[in-house]
Amino acid sequence: MENFPLVLIISSIVKILIVVHLLLIGVMVMIWAERRVSGWMQDRLGPNRVGPQGLLQPIADGLKFLFKEDLIPDHVDKPLYVMAPAMLLVPALVAVAVVPFGSAITVFGHEIPLQIADINIGILYILAITSLGVYGVVLGAWASNNKYSLLGGLRSSAQMISYELTLGLGIIGILMLTSSLSLRTIAVEQGAYPWQWNFLIHFPAFLAFTTAMFAETNRLPFDLAEAEQELVAGYHTEYSSMKFAMFFMAEYMNMIVGSAVTVTLFLGGWHFFGLENMGGPVWSGLISFGIFFVKTAIFLFVFIWVRWTLPRFRYDQLMNFGWKFLLPVALTSIVVTGILWITTNSRLIVGIGNVVSAFIVVSIVASLLVMKTPKPAIQDSDNRLTPSALDAIE
Amino acid sequence: MEFTLKTFIFYGFALMTVASALIVVTVRNIVHAAFSLMVTLFGVAGLYVFLQADFLAATQVIVYVGGILVLILFGVMMTSERFDMPIQVKGHIERGQLFLGGVIALALLMLLLTVIANTPAWKNLTDDGTELPPTTARIGELILNGQFLLPFEVVSVLLLVALIGAALISRKEVRD
């Protein structure tokens, strides 16, 4: 046990407590923000009665969920039915362990990095843990013993498997230039100024990664797993009370973790024009945490913004988009980054080359698709596009 | 052997792996078996971590737990009409089959026991407090500069062939 000094244990416990609570509070704030922002975008009010600006609404909702009857239908597979919400929630909570949410704080002469665990293979760990999330959806859908649930689960698993590839391939360019899998190293390497951050060097990969992330979190425009008009509520149709709430918490937690990972990988982590180095050893740590927090919050706003802007994809469009556009773009980005980095060793040329090559690939694929003129697998009988009007909470 | 936190966690993972593997082969419901297999594969990944093979552990989870097993579950749900049908053996089992199966299982057990007995030092490399360098860099060097370049390329070509074959078999003829 002498390998584990007391400071490390205590600081780890404190960090875990803070991060988990931040996540839980973040989920509540996100639910409130989603409803308020959607109200604002649709020119209505949204919840504004409980507490100032309706801020206490998520707490009221949470209490309501807790005190509702926990109904388990007769026809379900009970062990898997009970386990499924936890199977979705746990990966979301565990994945945040390797995300660095600030530089370091020095307390009582000990430098404490603002990260729960800095492991060598951080980004692989994230990919591994997030790939577990699909089990919650699939098992919950199967255990519900309901055709709508099963259809939602099948759609969701096909979608998650397809977009996971893009998610993994999109980060390889970064790994080549950073030559490390540790999230902290990736964040540190990016430097203080926005034009040094990875999203400019790997712009196509950044777009592909972000889109794949939207698909992984099952958000609109990718929410075919719970398309209300077609599948009642998808994989969680049979769930009620706190189990249903856990599905929702997992979705929002995945969004928060995904945003934090994107900020770390592509948007410079806690760097912002050298502001993170101001102040003493304590203040610089707190400021860096604040910068990271604000960046994540902005990215979360983009999540909501996209949800209430874009209508849902049709299933064949979703698969075409994933396999014929995102995957080639991510693959090209790897090849181009590798070749240009070895030959020129200049980030500027890699960045330009990436954009140009992605443009060429997308035009080639698009022209091939146009030449083949495929008939849509599902005919659009009515051309009206109806974005989901159902509020997620209700 | 001294009993530290590490050994405690190790036995936790070992128990998890063995118990869930037993459930996989005994349970009748195929989805329950698949779920249990997930726990087994996860436990094996934990054991890899104890062997200082962090890259292998993460890859195990990504490839087997997150990829292959999900595809198996997907296939089971998608293809079979009665996916909740219990697994059962039709008819009776021949004596010869039982005997052959038993012999093969025993031979495998003997092989594994020999490997375990012949491995010289069962000790944790970081017990003396030294930190090992990241395994990923070493793996990359061995694969791309070192002795494993040819096998690596051969395996990737093999996988490519399998991929194209799968696409060809599952592809429907498009006539328009």
Q: In the predicted model, is pLDDT for residue B154 greater than 90?
A: yes
**A4 vs B contacts (CB less than 8 Å):** 5
The verdict on residue A248 lying in a domain is yes
State ipTM.
0.75
CATH T-level topology, domain B1-86: Four Helix Bundle (Hemerythrin (Met), subunit A) (1.20.120)
Neighbours of A149 (CB within 10 A): 27
pLDDT for position B132: 62
Distance from the Cα of residue A142 to its chain's centroid = 24
CA gap A288, A278 in Å, rounded: 9
pLDDT for position A389: 43
- Most A CBs within 10 A among B9, B55, B61, B124, hence the mutation to make, goes to B61
Q: How many domains does chain A have?
A: 1
Q: CA-CA distances (angstroms) from residue B133 to A120, B46, B54, B130?
A: 9, 19, 11, 10
pLDDT above 70: percentage of residues in chain A: 89
The verdict on residue A379 lying in a domain is no
Q: In the predicted model, is pLDDT for residue A134 greater than 70?
A: yes
Domain range for A84:
6-372
- Most A CBs within 10 A among B65, B71, B85, B174, hence the mutation to make, goes to B65
Kindly determine whether residue B70 and residue A157, on different chains, have CB atoms separated by under 8 Å: yes
- Mean pLDDT value of segment A38-65: 84
Q: In the predicted model, is pLDDT for residue A99 greater than 80?
A: yes
Give the number of residues written for chain B.
176
What integer best gives the mean pLDDT of chain B?
80
The verdict on residue A1 lying in a domain is no
In Å, how far is A189's CA from the nearest CA of chain B?
Answer: 18
Partner B contacted by A119 (CB < 8 A): yes
Kindly determine whether residue B62 and residue A153, on different chains, have CB atoms separated by under 8 Å: no
pLDDT tens-digit readout, B81-117: 555 566 666 667 778 888 899 999 999 999 999 988 8
The verdict on residue A391 lying in a domain is no
- Mean pLDDT value of segment A1-27: 79
Among the listed residues A239, A189, A170, A213, the one whose alpha carbon sits nearest the alpha carbon of residue A347: A189
Among A135-139, A312-316, A359-363, the least confident range = A312-316
- Residue A146: which residues within 8 A CB-CB, separation 6 or more? A237, A238
The verdict on residue A216 lying in a domain is yes
Closest CB from B67, B77, B126 relative to A154: B77
Partner A contacted by B28 (CB < 8 A): no
The verdict on residue A244 lying in a domain is yes
Q: In the predicted model, is pLDDT for residue A385 greater than 50?
A: no
Higher pLDDT among residues A149 and B16, named by residue: B16
Q: CA-CA distances (angstroms) from residue A390 to A250, A317, A385, A394?
A: 19, 23, 14, 7
Boundaries of every domain in chain B: 1-86, 133-176
pLDDT for position A83: 86
